[in-house]
Amino acid sequence: MDKVFVNLGSSSYEIFIGENILSNVGKFVAGKFTKILLVTQKNIFDAHGKSLTDGLDAEKISYTVAMIPDGETSKNLREAENLYTRAIEFGLDRKSVVIALGGGVVGDLAGFVAATFLRGVGLIQIPTTLLAQVDSSVGGKTAVNHALGKNLIGAFHQPKAVFIDLNCLATLPEREIKSGLGEVVKYGVISDEKFFAYLEDKAEKILQRDAETLAHVVKRSCEIKAEVVGEDERESGLRRILNFGHTLAHAVEEQTRYEKFRHGEAVAIGMVGAARISCELGKTSAANVERIEKLLKRFGMVTTCDGLDAEKLFAVTFRDKKTVGGKVNWVLMKNFGDVEISGDVPAQVVKKIFGGLCRDE
Ligand SMILES: NC(=O)c1ccc[n+]([C@@H]2O[C@H](COP(=O)([O-])OP(=O)(O)OC[C@H]3O[C@@H](n4cnc5c(N)ncnc54)[C@H](O)[C@@H]3O)[C@@H](O)[C@H]2O)c1
Ligand SMILES: [Zn+2]
């Protein structure tokens, strides 16, 4: 079993990565926490819940399983309230822990409940999608959506531990693997050319879900995220580089009502946009942009947003919650592993690049 340490002072924790490791969660919980609210979805629990609950049973830990419906629409205050009710009825106390077994939807909702119930109880993340393993389960961001916008209500709440069982990826639909790969490619761009080259080299193996290759991909991604989060827990500086590709991605997701693209797919388009803007401003080379586009295409990802309206996309970037004082903070690329934040990208440059992406160029 591999470990990645997330260094956050008294909130530090470990990410455990390996195959068939869910039965170890019971040992981790035993003696530390009194009761467990296990939040999951039916298909995930059916496929992967047993070794987890066997491990809890072996330690005689008291738990209750709360299923939430599938889909982004579950990430709302009503579902959170249902979970609070379950927690109260089950007698969850301050020394209890919420376990999130699932993708980013389960992780964000269960994490939000853990952050707010009794002003905060423990949280253990068991991410089961590639996106959740490399991104959403690490870093402590939790949230639910509001009818007027995504992730608008939330809290920072670091988990006590993250257990990444690589076996969970075996049952994941192909599209969800691709979505996770969007974030994985991002890590190569923002912080590690060697990792980017590894992804280029091993693209085929990754798509075949070769266990050893995926193990490295997940571990390296977690290391990079842990490093960034360790430097800047509350996103006041460095952590913003994790938003590479996200300014346009959020606009594309909003304009397609979160129905057409999975998050990582939108990030792929967004990264191409950010890289092209960087090139247009003379910050990076056309060859670097080409390399990113080529890798994304090898992973079978769409890299344009054909048919969307560039003007509308541009307007939406100003509504992003990351926009501060009316300025859109673009994460621009200079080289692999070398990015910068810029609050003054000229509107005509952004519109030109968006225009190209909307015409499928
Ligand atoms: N907190 C953060 O830092 C952060 C970062 C990125 C994304 N997010 C959030 O994450 C969410 C998206 O997460 P996601 O992409 O994991 O989507 P998701 O949680 O909806 O999971 C995608 C689908 O895969 C299914 N699934 C999950 N694990 C499976 C498995 N092992 N086998 C088979 N099917 C499985 C789920 O039931 C679901 O149908 C969004 O709400 C986004 O806002 C949060
Ligand atoms: Zn993302």
Please, what are the domains in the chain?
2-171 (3.40.50.1970), 174-358 (1.20.1090.10)
Neighbouring CB atoms inside 10 A of 311's CB total 12
Annotated active-site residue 250? The verdict is yes
Of 183, 223, 253, 265, which residue is the catalytic one?
183
- The per-residue pLDDT for 133 is 98
Task: Check if the beta carbon of residue 286 is closer than 8 Å to that of residue 277.
Answer: no
Annotated active-site residue 35? The verdict is no
- The per-residue pLDDT for 161 is 98
DSSP-derived 3-state class of residue 125: strand
pTM, whole model, 2 decimals? 0.97
Which of 22, 101, 136 should be mutated for ligand 1, with most atoms under 8 A from CB? 136
Q: Residue 332 C-alpha to ligand 1 middle, in angstroms?
A: 27
Contacts 24+ apart (CB under 8 A), 171-174: 171/47, 171/48, 172/128, 172/129, 172/130
Burial class (CB within 10 angstroms; exposed 0-12, middle 13-18, buried 19+) of 274: buried
Residue of minimum CA distance from atom 6 in ligand 1: 136
- Residue ranges of alpha helices (H) inside the chain are 25-29, 42-58, 77-89, 104-116, 130-131, 174-191, 193-201, 203-207, 211-231, 246-255, 263-280, 286-298, 310-317, 347-358
Residue of minimum CA distance from atom 22 in ligand 1: 103
Q: Determine the number of helices (DSSP H) and then strands (DSSP E) in the chain.
A: 14, 11
- The per-residue pLDDT for 361 is 85
pLDDT in tens, the chain (361 residues): 999 999 999 999 999 999 999 999 999 999 999 999 999 999 999 999 999 999 999 999 999 999 999 999 999 999 999 999 999 999 999 999 999 999 999 999 999 999 999 999 999 999 999 999 999 999 999 999 999 889 999 999 999 999 999 999 999 999 999 999 999 999 999 999 999 999 999 999 999 999 999 999 999 999 999 999 999 888 888 899 999 999 999 999 999 999 999 999 999 999 999 999 999 999 999 999 999 999 999 999 999 999 999 999 999 999 877 777 788 999 999 999 999 999 999 999 999 999 999 998 8
- The per-residue pLDDT for 320 is 75
Query: What tokens were used for 1?
Result: 């079993």
Q: Residue 246 C-alpha to ligand 2 middle, in angstroms?
A: 7
Of 225, 262, 283, 291, which residue is the catalytic one?
225
Task: Check if the beta carbon of residue 260 is closer than 8 Å to that of residue 315.
Answer: no
Q: Residue 103 C-alpha to ligand 1 middle, in angstroms?
A: 3
Phi, psi of 4 (to 5 degrees): -125, 130
Residue of minimum CA distance from atom 13 in ligand 1: 104
N-to-C CA span, the chain:
44
Burial class (CB within 10 angstroms; exposed 0-12, middle 13-18, buried 19+) of 109: buried
Residue type, 201: D
DSSP-derived 3-state class of residue 104: helix
Query: What tokens were used for 123?
Result: 């949280």
> Ligand 1 within 6 A of 171 CB?
yes
Nearest Cα to Cα of residue 353 among 294, 242, 270, 257: 270
- Residue 164 vs residues 146, 147, 268: alpha-carbon distances, Å: 29, 32, 24
Of 35, 160, 186, 263, which residue is the catalytic one?
263
> Ligand 1 within 6 A of 104 CB?
yes
101 DSSP β-pair partners: 40, 126
- The per-residue pLDDT for 360 is 87
CA 102 remoteness from chain centre: 12
